């Protein structure tokens, strides 16, 4: 392999990349979103400056992705915290738990998604939409929602999917320090909402040292949505450099 060929690599191994070099297109990407109020002090401890917390609302999400270019079939779960940045409302992506190694690798390397391994599921149980998240052998989250009770305004569903998302991007240096430490922003803009519903919902979180979702306790469920979409992810852009601050 010539030096110029090495410089064109987007990831390793050199003979079998960990993920496909694609702009990922999702067909029938299905969301279960549960919005809940939590402890204000707990979210302020986790949200990095220069983001600010004006309302202690967390979105617990399960995303079922059965048809993704380059990545195939997988499921994710995570927590996002309502924030503002320079007057723009959005969400800070705290953590994502994913059952696909290529999706974890591409999300962390290519973008800045805070992904780690987990076992989420999303399925219909009789008249109930059920989302679960296991970490190892232990259950750390159970979400339930009535199945398709009330049609949701597509514009409101689109606003949920297209909310600006902020994340921390880090790249370690060889000396153990950081080469990159940025706050980045992304926003989905290419999306088709195929269906959207709301219904009563509940969420249980269970304490776990390595999957600490319960550190943001559920004080009150304030909303829920079941949304089916086709969409394409947008690239991230840096908005703050912590190493230069």
State the catalytic residues.
115
Is the CB of residue 222 less than 8 Å from the CB of residue 36? yes
Q: Where are the alpha helices (DSSP H) in the chain?
A: 3-7, 40-46, 101-109, 154-161
Other CB atoms within 10 A of residue 37 CB: 15
What SS3 state is found at 3? helix
Is the CB of residue 103 less than 8 Å from the CB of residue 76? yes
Question: Phi and psi (nearest 5°) for 170?
Answer: -125, 140
Question: Phi and psi (nearest 5°) for 210?
Answer: -105, -5
């Amino acid at each position: 392999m010539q030096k110029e060929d090495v410089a064109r690599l987007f990831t390793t191994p050199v003979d079998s990349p960990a993920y496909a070099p694609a702009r990922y297109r999702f067909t029938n990407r299905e969301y279960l979103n549960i919005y809940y109020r939590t402890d204000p002090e707990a979210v302020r401890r986790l949200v990095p400056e220069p983001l600010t917390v004006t309302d202690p609302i967390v979105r617990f999400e399960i995303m079922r992705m059965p048809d993704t270019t380059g990545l195939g079939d997988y499921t994710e779960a995570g927590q996002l915290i309502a924030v503002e940045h320079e007057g723009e409302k959005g969400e800070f992506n705290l953590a994502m738990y994913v059952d696909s190694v290529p999706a974890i690798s591409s999300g962390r390397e290519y973008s800045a998604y805070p992904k780690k391994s987990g076992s989420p599921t999303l399925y219909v149980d009789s008249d109930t939409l059920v989302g679960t998240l296991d970490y190892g052998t232990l259950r750390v989250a159970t979400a339930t929602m009535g199945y398709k009770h009330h049609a949701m305004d597509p514009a409101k569903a689109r606003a949920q999917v297209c909310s600006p998302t902020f994340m921390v991007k880090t790249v370690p240096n060889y000396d153990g320090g950081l080469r990159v430490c940025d706050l980045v922003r992304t926003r989905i803009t290419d999306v088709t909402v195929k269906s959207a519903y709301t219904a009563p919902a509940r969420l249980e979180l269970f304490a776990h040292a390595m999957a600490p979702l319960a550190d943001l306790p559920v004080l009150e469920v304030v909303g829920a949505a079941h949304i089916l979409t086709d969409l394409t992810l947008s690239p991230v852009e840096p908005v703050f450099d912590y190493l230069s601050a």
